[in-house]
Chains A and B, each alone.
Chain A
Amino acid sequence: MADASLGLWTVPLAVFGGAIRVSTPFLFVSLGECITERSGRINLGLEGTLVMGAMSAYGISYLSGSPWLGVLAAGITGALFGALHAGICSLPRVNDIAVGIALMLLGTGLAFFLGKPLIEPTAARLPAIDFGWWSDVPQVRAALRINVLFLIGVAIAPLLYWAFKSTRWGLLIRTAGESADAARAMGHSVLLIRLRATMVGGFLAGIGGSFLSLFYPGSWNEGLSSGQGITAVALVIFARWDPLLCLWASLAFGGAAALGPALQSVGITSGYHLFNAAPYILTLAIMIITCSPKRTLTGAPAELSITR
């Protein structure tokens, strides 16, 4: 609630803290989707992967007492879902977007089904680092309690940027995404490259889910994800398939999502839902601005089914 001594300063502070907390799942899912889409496939099923990851992380953390084992389990679950997506898409004449919708249904359904007994118990949660120890103001301290996963995500983004640019693996993924024929001519299996890229993408998306259930909001229930997986897929388009831009876009989308509750805490309640829809509106706007009938999205991998 609003502290009288801080007044309207609570809003930017809450947005800052919220941006960091809310953006972490966006960051992981979008970096994962970035890898998958750079290899020439779109995986819309990451919403299902995210929820599945959240559920398995919570379950394993509850059973083992170690939240980090939970994070690992979420990643592995995500990678398995990625393998399923890539496996079905390797069959001839299968539409990858439709498979994504199917896996979104399946992942959410399975997570709700298997997660039913997990709604009651409390699992061990991920620790946070207190960067706000120097301050006496509770709001500042709350805003600066930052989770390790966020820092890992922030580190992955430039790493991925570098990997795409100057490692053998990055080049292979980009080749498969820009021209499957070229990759084949070089003697590489496009299906195998995409399988690996989708599995790594699923791994990261699963970890994004573990953040939801193990840190913020930090419990397991069926309303845990309000479409963050879909937002993150949109975010990759918004960020033009650039991992560094994914980081900034995640922070911006997280901030937009945190703005509604922050304004609510100082008594401005209208427009809450419209702020939540800001990521979708922004992504649609950027697609409208940068597309034209003659030219497709700049920066988009040429093999991607949404650009053809």
Chain B
Amino acid sequence: MTAEVESVEAVGVAPAADPGFLQRYGASIEYVLIPCAALLGALAVFGGFVALYGKNPLDLYFYMYYGAFGTWFSWQNTLTRAAPLILTALCTALPAQLGMVIIGGEGALLIGALSATSAALALQGAAPIVVQIAMVIAGVIGGGLWITLSGGLRQYRGVNETISSLLLVYIALAILNHLVEGPLRDPASLNKPSTREIGAANMIGTIPGTDVHWGLVFGLVAAVAAYVLIYHTTFGFAARVAGGNVRAAKIVGLNVGRLILTVCFLAGACAGLAGMIEVAAVQGRTNANLAAGYGFTGILVAFLARQNPLAIIPVAILLGGISASGGLLQRRLGLPDASVLVLQGIIFVFVLASDALYGRIGLFKGKS
């Protein structure tokens, strides 16, 4: 959020009389170039790591590209994986506007999935469209309330939201496992305890002509809506003011508590929607498979996109592509499936370290 403040400053101090191109757009270029440089640096380090492992880094880059974006098949795989990432990234990016670091998207995703599945199971026999709408509502409310809990604890008890949202991930996982192995268990699921299936008719299906499910559209709409909300509405402006300076926000009469609770609800709602989509488009039921780490990768997406909802879309597709190429790396290069995790970790480290670079490269400085 320091970066947010800084961009405002940079715009503010730019000379009004005919600023040069770099003066005018320096800060914006910086926001694109530095993450790209961090990404390239991370890819180079990962290439070196793989070279130490005895594989050709050029093969690695080729297969990564091929597995992520090389064919129509891999594009579809990538987009399918990007859909939940967009939504879980919003779970971190929205509260970030208020200066909060929420890392509990995984928990909201699990609770959203559980709520959506329960809604579908309770409404068995109703028309599919009714069931689907009920699942969306249940997922959104379940996930939303889960993160609102963190926001409320911060607002009313002063509990640090980062730690509480992380603890809530593990509590959500325990609740899910408890219900899936106990009250909600389908007796027919022997090896992998699961809930009963929501029924093929109630699945949300794929976008016509592709294998990509409708979750991608949900994600794109949510990201654009979040962008409009933050940058083009009074509410978003108020949130950014409160994120920049809480005391100033209180002095001008903003209800910071309500802002925090609303933004946290929206953030959790996005992650809950991701959980609902994973159930209604991929798994068809709730079980421990849902804890696939989308929530944690979403944090990385949000940081790489510098908490900008529109930038989240390409970054989520990129990260989705990296995980989509994992299978090919395993088959063609014999790399362990954990290589995707390693690369994600390296990217994350580079992106965070590159935070130190903003405003330090003379070329991009707003003032001469």
Binding site for B on A (CB under 8 A): 44, 48, 84, 88, 91-95, 97-99, 101-103, 105-113, 116, 222, 227, 230-231, 234, 237, 270-274, 276-277, 280-281, 283-284, 287-288, 291-296, 306-307
Contact = CB atoms under 8 A, between A and B. Distances in A.
Given A98-B352, A234-B167, A271-B178, A292 B345 contact: no
Interface string B333-356: 001111111111110110111011
A227 B170 contact: yes
B299 A103 contact: no
B164 A287 contact: yes
B19 interface: no
Contacts of A95: 101, 352, 355
A109 B345 contact: yes
A288 B153 contact: yes
B159 interface: yes
B339 A113 contact: yes
A38 B261 CA distance: 31
Interface string B307-341: 00000000000000000000000000001111111
Contact of A103 (B159, B349, B358): B349
Given A88-B353, A280-B171, A291 B158 contact: yes
A34 B174 CA distance: 26
Contact of B157 (A271, A280, A292, A306): A292
A84 B343 CA distance: 16
Given A93-B356, A227-B170, A306 B345 contact: no
10 contacts: A93-B358, A98-B352, A99-B349, A101-B299, A110-B345, A222-B338, A270-B182, A280-B174, A283-B167, A287-B153
A48 B346 CA distance: 13
B283 interface: no
B303 A98 contact: yes
Contact of A113 (B157, B163, B174, B341): B341
A93 to B, nearest CB: 5
Contact of A306 (B160, B338, B342, B349): B160
A277 B352 contact: no
B89 to A, nearest CB: 13
B368 interface: no
Interface residues of B, number: 50
B108 interface: no
Given A94-B353, A274-B178, A113 B338 contact: yes
Given A277-B174, A280-B170, A296-B158, A94 B355 contact: yes
A227 B168 CA distance: 13
Give me the 6 closest cross-chain CB pairs, A-B, nearest first: A106-B345, A109-B341, A277-B174, A112-B338, A102-B348, A91-B356
Contacts of A230: 166, 170
Contacts of B74: none
Given A106-B346, A283-B167, A293-B155, 20 more contacts: A88-B352, A91-B353, A93-B355, A94-B355, A94-B356, A98-B101, A101-B299, A102-B300, A106-B348, A112-B337, A112-B341, A113-B336, A227-B170, A231-B170, A237-B163, A274-B178, A284-B159, A284-B171, A287-B153, A287-B164
A84 B352 CA distance: 12
A306 B162 contact: yes
Contacts of A277: 170-171, 173-175
Nearest to B166: A230
A237 B300 CA distance: 25
Contacts of A274: 174-175, 178
A284 B167 contact: yes
B181 interface: yes
A102 B349 contact: yes
A265 B340 CA distance: 38
A294 B168 CA distance: 23
A110 B342 contact: yes
Given A101-B296, A273-B178, A276-B174, A295 B158 contact: yes
B157 A109 contact: no
Contacts of A84: 349
Given A112-B336, A281-B171, A288-B159, A102 B342 contact: no
B156 interface: yes
Given A108-B341, A113-B341, A94 B178 contact: no
B191 interface: no
A277 B182 CA distance: 16
B163 A102 contact: no
Most B Cβ at <10 Å: residue of A222, A231, A274: A274
Contacts of A271: 178
